[in-house]
Amino acid sequence: MSRRFAFEPAARETFLALRKEADGPLYLAVREVRAEILENPGHRRVRLLRYRPDTWALPVRCGDVRWLVLWRQSDGDPDLIEVHYVGPAPGES
């Protein structure tokens, strides 16, 4: 499998900040969601919530914290997964 991620700058910054605490439960939850997307981007589980046309929101749950990963497959490269947002879900801080 040659799938890979391309992060928008703000999404990359958030992910890298989480990664600084590699054993942190929120980082581990986000990492698990990323792995699900990378493994099978066409699976129904990772396409539960449509955010915009061709953009999907996958919830990340960690205790009482709710985050989202917004992503889409690149139009020009089917192996490239574009991550547009990693952060709190609407209504969360």
Q: Residue 62 belongs to what domain range?
A: 4-88
Tell me, yes or no, whether 53 lies in a domain: yes
Q: What pLDDT, on the 0 to 100 scale, is given for residue 48?
A: 83
Per-residue pLDDT of the chain (93 residues; tens, 9 = 90+): 589 999 999 999 999 999 999 999 999 999 999 999 999 998 998 998 898 888 999 999 999 999 999 999 999 998 999 999 999 998 886
Tell me, yes or no, whether 93 lies in a domain: no
Q: Letter for the amino acid at 52?
A: R
For residue 22, the surrounding DSSP H or E stretch is: none
Q: What pLDDT, on the 0 to 100 scale, is given for residue 67?
A: 95
Q: What pLDDT, on the 0 to 100 scale, is given for residue 1?
A: 59
User: What's the CATH number where 69 sits?
Assistant: 3.30.2310.20
Confidence (pTM):
0.89
When divided into structural domains, the chain yields a total of 1
CA gap 92, 42 in Å, rounded: 28
Query: Which CA distances in Å does 27 have to 3, 12, 17, 31, 88?
Result: 21, 13, 9, 6, 13
Q: What pLDDT, on the 0 to 100 scale, is given for residue 91?
A: 83
For 48, which DSSP code?
S
